[in-house]
A and B are shown apart, each in its own frame.
Chain A
Amino acid sequence: MIEVKIDGQRVAVAAGTTILAAARRLGLEIPTLCHHEALEPFGACRLCLVALDEGGRQSIVAACNYPLERSGLSVETGTPAVWQARKMSLKLLLARCPGVKVLQDLARQWRVDTADLLLTGDGEEECILCGLCVRVCREVIGKNAISFVYRGAERKVSTPFDAETDLCLGCAACAYLCPTGAIKVREEAGRLLIDRWHSDLEQALCSECGRPVVPAELLVQMREKAAEEGVPGEELLCLRCRRMRAAAAATALPVPQYGPADSFPARRSSREEPDVNQARKGK
């Protein structure tokens, strides 16, 4: 364990803990856009900048990826210089993506506007290049279906050769983590579409109601993984049917008898539920 100071408060953390993690432990809030607990730090958005003092040597570093390695370090999370740098990062991102709500909200809160910048986007660009999508696909899903391509101002996230790729399973973890809503997932005629990645995927259907539930290839791979881990495969149910069935099973359990059985009318109505589904299927 090492001891460091953040905003004057002493905190003991394991060596290698990032400034961000240590600060959060103290309940201090540091803004981030490209950070996620489940992913490796990336250090790209530069909103989490803090002032670091290493025994007299001062610098501004990103809290999300700066590991505290020794005792005696001192961090300030809200100096004027820190705020100036953070505000500029936000201002630059807002100029790139003026239509993105999370940036607009922060800008209102921090009193940042882009009026004095010469280049401001037309609002169409929604990607702030935080890389959460790229990292979740690589680090968690293990697919690497998307990556950064080009460099500098041209940089963007894309599939290989900007074409449809069979690496994309349609898990939509990218869309789930995207802080700006730039990745849109939609269903059309029973298929799952992620236009940004040119993905157009066949879906497996709910064995109960026949509605599309999950991309077919994703299901195959999930079942393989489950089998490897000794989890028995189950029949595929949509969320709704799964709930119905769970509810039905729960209510079918022997119930302590406090009176006549017909004093529980709710039970009957639960059992009727599958019929509703049958009706939907027929639609």
Chain B
Amino acid sequence: MDNSTFEQKPTITGAMHVSLRHDSAHKHVTGTAEYIDDIREPADTLHAALGMADRAHAEILSLDLDAVRAAAGVVWVITAEDIPGFNDVAATGRHDEPLLAEKEVQFHGQPIFAVIAETRDQARRAARLAKVEYRDLPHWTDIDGAIANGAPLVVQPMTLTRGEPDTEIDKAAHRLQGRMVIGGQEHFYLESHIALAIPGEDDDVTVWSSTQHPSEVQHMVAHVLGVANNAVTVNIRRMGGGFGGKETQGNQFAALAAVAAKKLGRAVKFRPDRDEDMSVTGKRHDFRVDYDVAFDDEGRIHAVDSTYAARCGYSADLSGPVTDRALFHADSSYFYPHVHLTSQPLKTHTVSNTAFRGFGGPQGMLGAERIIEEIAYAVGKDPLEIRKLNFYGQQGSGRTLTPYHQEVEDNVIARIVEELEASSDYQARRQAILAFNEESPVIRKGIALTPVKFGISFTMTAYNQAGALVHIYQDGSIHLNHGGTEMGQGLYVKVAQVVADAFNVDIERVKITATTTEKVPNTSATAASSGSDLNGMAAYDAARQIKERLIDFAMRQFEVARDEVEFLPNQVRVGKDIVPFDTLVRAAYYDRVQLSAAGFYKTPDIHWDREAGRGRPFYYYAYGAAVSEVSIDTLTGEYLVDRTDILHDVGKSLNPAIDIGQIEGGFVQGMGWLTTEELWWDDKGRLRTHAPSTYKIPLASDRPKVFNVKLAEWSQNAEPTIGRSKAVGEPPFMLAISVLEAISMAVASVADYRVCPRLDAPATPERVLMAVERMKDL
């Protein structure tokens, strides 16, 4: 299969590599795009609400639900003993996540029961009427508390080693140790979780679930109901945002709705309130990075030894692969001659943390960038110089091997940084900022250029597979389905472009359809930035099969050679004749040609041995870099982002407009993580920032005042991916590290750049002011 050399075919609409609007844009702006809560409900649909624990860690002594059951409109109350199959929604198969708590609650807000009532309002009101007696058990909610209490690990930690870190770390001219504390992050998808379960005959149930992972919801619902997977169908047309928060976290809502729907024989909708959603669904992991680094007088790294401790919450969920990915990115873009990296996935009495755009990678990279800052301040240089000194080299340089023993073969970071440094006028602006700071008593400025190198593939090798289903109907219209889900990222339109391109027909001919486990089974989560890489290829494979059959048919029917059949825009040349695409299709139908195909793809050449810490977990890397300039107020710690310039590598873009949108959006979301978004638990273990009134994601006025975003147009994927494109979902998120480092430089100016400010994340105005105060005391 040659998929590396798709040509530009400007005469059809919606070819690959063309900027095309989101397929639902028209429906978005008119309010007609249907989300699950907008689907017209079956008659007599019931509604669900959660009964949640108000202890962080306790034994349940008694549970009195009489008042709940007696409340107006209540039809049923589900407790653990009412679960027909397994009371378990652990995505990992570890059985450490009960759907409803039985004897013990392990985080504040953990679901204990669910109320099913005639209206949502009635269900919510009734859920508050339970009387629960608890016996409190010791709890800890953060990393320090977990370590102090000797907390268990939720999964086996991972270790990566290369070279001789133990002995070499003493052999360089300089060595320093430090710690960085990195906060978590709430996804804050605008559409909260939701499930609508409709019972069918026999064991059947159909669930509409706002999920990035319909197959897992299907399997979990079957597991909880105690029925075969084939009894459960899961559908999702679109989510109102996902960001990783809907990879595993939707299971609980779907399973409870399905249990009630089957028991009661009525449709059940479960839409948690925003506060409930934020309390019972996992977030980005907080990390504490303890680093030990050895380097020479120039600032070249000799050895690194870091431990990445993570707040995982009460169960494993995805904490294993998340903390693994943190280690896979603890090198950022830098070559470490000797390295030892360990993860510490700690159990805490908080909601179980989960996937979030970048999946541990951002935290891993942030630790690396802190090390660069430390070295820069220690040797008195611009951090950018230290970065360049330590970048991975080109092949043959002896500086291409990662801590996990994969060669970096497609390295373009030096070129990207060089071009961005020039286009953003970095050096002159940095000089101007140094001069400004000398004259400005209160307002200080900072600038930083930081790189991104992000490994693409699920590190769980089996997940790197995808399926698609393509039909052509007799009128020549095309039906497209695949296992990827649409959460706003533009996956559906990109895959439709692939299919339109493959048949050389206008994209309007390609019908985009809702993802469903009935059409494409055993799918992977739409995650790890892999959506278009995997599903694009699978859809291409399906289209290719049908196209082959059409070519065979044309050769047979018209007695022409293979090279006499050519797909022109919306037409096919057969010998000397040119026939419309739909005419050929109809003729093929009458000749009994199968016009439907299931496509399949698996990423080649990847393997990973976690025990040994060796392999090739990533098919390729995506690169990028950003320069941010900020101003801070040294009296209050407030700040503004004055300008950001980005140059990002998406290979040969499938849809530049969509990709730019991912880059801008990812950057601003990353900026939120590193600045104003702060999760805050009180001493009772209650998350107190559980709604937008208390949890502050960026607003329009927080984005950089000047925002220049460009694609590295010269880039194409070295690997034969779909159209030589690269994944774009996660990598741009980490471009926001430039904002944190720019703030850090502004803080450092207070002590004349003599010491690394060690600014932790999120850099709220408070953290910035306190860092300024530390600088003043030096």
Q: Are A and B co-members of a single complex?
A: no
Q: Which residues of B contact A (CB under 8 A)?
A: none
